[in-house]
Chain A
Amino acid sequence: MSDNTQQLIDQVQSAHTNNSTLKIVGGNSKDFLQACTANDTLEMTSHAGVVNYEPTELVLTARAGTPIVEIEKLLADNGQYLSFEPPHFSENTTIGGAVASGMGGPRRPWGGAPRDVLLGCRLLTGTGDVMRFGGEVMKNVAGYDVSRLMAGAQGSLGVLLEVSLKVLPAPSKTITLTQNLSETEAHQTMRELAAKPIPLSGVCFANGQLYIRLSGAHASVNAWSKKIGGERLAENNTFWERLRDHQLDFFDRSQPVWRISLPPAAPSLACADSTLIDWAGGQRWIISNAAPEQIKAEALNLKGHAKQFYGNALPEPWAMSSQVALGPIQKRLKETFDPKRIFNPGTHANL
C-alpha cells in the first residue's frame, strides 16, 4: 500500500542510461502469455493502493500494483463493480496488469473491455518521464486518447503507474439458466438472444450446455428468465468464475488451446477439434491440432484473429497488425513512448 513512483522512475532511468531492458511484472498471473526476453524486472506489486474513490462520481483511481480482488471488494462494499469482469487467473492479479492485458471477462460484449472503462492513466515512459493522460472525468477529448492506447498494449508502450476507471452500480440480481443443446443450436440461440433487449451478462456454450446469465433489475431478470426458459444454475455454482479464469476442464493446459476473436455470427471453425463459445459467439476457444498458420488463416478469413494460449512449449509473442501500411506507424508509436525499447522486449512480434 505505498507510492513507489520514485523507485520505479529511478529503475527506468537507469535502464535507459545503461541500455538494459525491463520486464514489467504485476501479479505475474499472465506470465504464460508473455514471450518477454528482458534482462531485468520492474516489480509493480509494491506500488499499490487505491488513491481515490468516490462512489457517487463513478470513478476509482488506483496504483497499478493494487490487487484486483482488493478493488472488487471495495467496490462491492459500495454496491458497485468493474463492468469488464477482469480475469483473475491468480489471486495476485493487479489492476495494472488487467488493463495492460486488455482482457475482458464473460461480460465483455455488454460490459466492455478495459479500454472502455479506462478514463485516464499516469504513465512512466521509456525515458523515465511521468505523464498524465485523460483524467477522472467521464468525458475528455482534449488531445489524443493516449490512455486508451495503453489498454491492451501489454506494457510495450510504457509503465502504467495509476489508472482511473469508470465503475458502475452493480446489478441487483443475477441468475444463470442452462439449456441442453448442440453446438449449432446453441450458437443460433445465442444470436437470437443477443438481438433482443435482454439484460444479458454472459452467454457461453461449453460441454453440451448453453449458459445464459442475466443481470439487472429484479423485475426484468425474473420476467426474462421465464420467457427464455431452462434450468436455473445454483447460486453457489462458480461456472462464470471458472470460465473467466480458464479453470474449466476445457482449458486443459496440455492441449493446444486457441483463442479466436471474430464476428459473433461467424460459423464454427473447420480446424477445431472441439469448441467452447463465449461472448455470445464473439470469442471462440478451440482445441486444435491443425498447423498454427492454418488456424490463423481461417480466423483471418472470418474477419477475426487467433492466438494460442495453452499447450505450447513457449508463449507465442502477441501479434501486431499484419497490414503492411500499419507496420511503420506501430513502430513509430513504440519509439515515441519507448525510444530505447527497454520495456517488455519480445512481447510483441515484429515491433
Chain B
Amino acid sequence: MSTQDTSALRERLADQFKSFVDPAFVLAEESERKPYECDGLAAYRHLPLIVVLPETIDDVQKIMRICHAEQVPVVARGAGTGLSGGALPLENGVLLSLARFNQILDIDKPNLCATVQPGVRNLAISEAAKPFGLYYAPDPSSQIACSIGGNVAENAGGVHCLKYGLTVNNLLSVTIVTAEGELVTLGSGGLDAEGFDLLALITGSEGMLGIVVEITVKLLPIQERAQVVMAAFDHVETAGQAVADLIAEGILPAGLEMMDQPSLQAAEDFVHAGYPVEAAAILLCEVDGDNEEVSEEIARVRQRLTDSGATEVRTAKDDNERARFWAGRKAAFPAVGRISPDYYCMDGTIPRKHLPYILREINRLGEVYGLRAANVFHAGDGNLHPLILYNGNEPGEIERAEAFGGKILEACVEVGGSITGEHGVGLEKINQMCAQFPPEEITLFHAVKAAFDQQGLLNPGKAIPTLNRCAEFGAMHISQGDMRFPHLERF
C-alpha cells in the first residue's frame, strides 16, 4: 500500500472509530502509537496503523465489523507483557487494546467463580476474591502486570500449575467477538457445554480466533497453610533426579521450581532471597493443605531431598521467609536482566528425565555461539526457561542469541518436547513451528483458524507459519502433489 493510501485508510478508520469511541482513545498520531510498537519481546517493533481502546463489548463488535468491511487486520493487546511478539502490531493493521476493560464484574461466592473483563490484571482477581476466602490459581510470574485476557490467549501457567493446572483448567467460560463482529460465549455456567470444546480451543490461540471480551474463571478456597522447602545441590543432575524421586514418592507439590547457579546468583544479588549462592542448583518445593497435612508432607519432602543428595535443606521458618524464597524465583527474569545488558527468554518443554541432557546441550550450544545462559525451570512440569545473555549493542549478538535460542528449542523437540510451554509462538518461534509440526498439521492449523476467521484478519502471520516460510526455513520438504486442503491460500 502506498504511503498516501495508508494515511487515507488511517483517517477513514479514525473517523469511523471516533463516531462511537471517545476520540481521546483513538490514537492516530505517530507519537501516540509509539508506546504500542512492541510487547515484552522488545527486539521486534512495528508501528501500528492506528490504535483504538474501546470501552464496551458493543464498541469491539463495531470495530470488528468495520475492520471486516475494510479488510484490515486486527491485533488484540492486553498488558503487552507477552514474550513471543504475539501482540506485536502490524503496520497495516489496527491495534485493539483491551486496557479499558478493567472491571471485575462479579465475584460469585456460591458458585466459586468470578466474571471479569479481559483487561483485569491476573493478581487483581485473587486480591478481589481474598475477602471471600478464595483465589484464582494460575499465577504467572508476571501476574502483577499481565491481563487475564492475555492469559487466556496464551494459556498462561505459573509456579503452581503442576497441582492446580494451567489457565485452560481454570476457566468456566469465555465470551469472544468473532472476526465478523459476532458475540458468542464458549463454555457455560456449568463444568461443560454443548457441542465441541471451543473453550479449550480458544485458550492459547494467541488472539487468532477471536477477541476475548469477558471471562468467567474458577475460584478455589485458600488453603489453610503453605510451606516451602529450599534444597541446594552441587550438581544440576542431582537436582533433576531429586524431582523425579519426589514424584516417585507420591508427593504432588503445589510448586516445584529449579534455578541453576547463574540465575540463583542473580536473584540473590537482586532480592536477597537467602539462596546459597555456592550451590550448582536449588529446588523450591512448596506444599499446601491443612496444618497437619503440611507438617506431614514437609517432613517427607525434607527426608526425600536429603536422601536424593541435597547438600542443604531449609524450610522457610515463617511467611516472610517463604515470601522471600518465592520473590527470588519470581524476580529471576529481571534479576538476570541486571547482570547482562540484554537477555532473551526461551520457553521449551521436555519430558523431565531429559533435563540433564538438555542442560548439557545448552552449555555446548553456548560455546558454539559464544554466549552464556542462565536457567530457570518449572521443574514439576518440565518447562525450561533458558535466559540467553547478550548485548544488543554488539553487532551480531542478537542474531547469535536468536540462533542459539532456536537451537535450544529444536533440541527440546528432538527429545519429545515442545518449543513453547506457556509464552506462545507469536512471531518469535514461528520458524521452530516447522521443526515441531509436519506440513499436514500446519495446514490443518490454518484450516482451524479459517473456521473462525475466514478472511484471516485476526493477528495474521503469528503462531502458525505459512508453508512457504517453512520451506524457506528448510526444515522440511513439501511435495505439491501431496498438498492437503488445496482450497486454502498459501501465503
Contacts and interface: CB of A to CB of B under 8 A. Distances in A.
Bound pair (A, B) = yes
Interface of A: 54-59, 79, 102, 104, 108-109, 112-113, 115-116, 125, 127, 129, 131-133, 135-146, 148-149, 151-153, 156-157, 168-170, 172, 191, 194-199, 216-220, 222-224, 261-266, 279, 282-283, 302-305, 318-323, 325-326, 329-330, 332-333, 336-337, 348
Interface stretch (B313-321, B335-343, B348-356): B348-356
B221 to A, nearest CB: 4
B197 A58 contact: no
Nearest to B222: A197
Contact of B436 (A142, A220, A266): A142
A195 B134 contact: yes
Nearest to A284: B190
A140 to B, nearest CB: 4
B196 interface: yes
A131 B443 CA distance: 11
A37 to B, nearest CB: 19
B300 to A, nearest CB: 9
Nearest to A152: B197
A81 B222 CA distance: 25
Interface in B243-269: 244-245, 247-248, 250-252
A135 B185 CA distance: 28
B296 A323 contact: no
B191 A169 contact: no
A137 B421 contact: yes
B69 to A, nearest CB: 17
B464 interface: yes
B292 A223 contact: yes
Contact of B425 (A125, A143, A224): A143
Contacts of B29: none
A217 B195 contact: no
B228 to A, nearest CB: 17
B351 A319 contact: no
B289 A217 contact: yes
B165 interface: yes
Interface string B131-144: 01110000000000
Nearest to A56: B244
Contacts of A320: 194-196
A323 B378 CA distance: 39
B272 to A, nearest CB: 30
Given A131-B444, A142-B418, A261 B188 contact: yes
A333 B444 contact: no
A332 B450 contact: yes
A54 B424 CA distance: 27
Given A137-B350, A149-B196, A169-B251, A333 B448 contact: yes
B42 interface: no
A81 to B, nearest CB: 11
A282 to B, nearest CB: 5
Given A141-B204, A149-B200, A195-B134, 15 more contacts: A54-B351, A57-B351, A115-B200, A132-B441, A139-B378, A144-B209, A145-B168, A194-B221, A195-B109, A197-B222, A218-B296, A220-B293, A264-B190, A321-B195, A323-B184
25 contacts: A57-B353, A79-B250, A113-B191, A129-B484, A137-B421, A138-B382, A140-B421, A142-B418, A142-B429, A143-B437, A143-B441, A144-B445, A144-B464, A146-B201, A146-B448, A153-B196, A191-B110, A194-B221, A219-B293, A219-B295, A223-B293, A304-B189, A305-B188, A321-B194, A326-B198
Contacts of A148: 168, 197, 200-201
A139 B451 contact: no
Contacts of A143: 425, 433, 436-437, 441-442, 445, 463-464
Count chain A CB atoms within 10 A of each CB in B111, B113, B133, B296 and give the residue with the most: B111
A276 B133 CA distance: 28
Given A109-B191, A138-B349, A157-B196, A196 B441 contact: no
A338 B109 CA distance: 42
Count chain A CB atoms within 10 A of each CB in B132, B162, B423 and give the residue with the most: B162
B195 A262 contact: no
B480 to A, nearest CB: 17
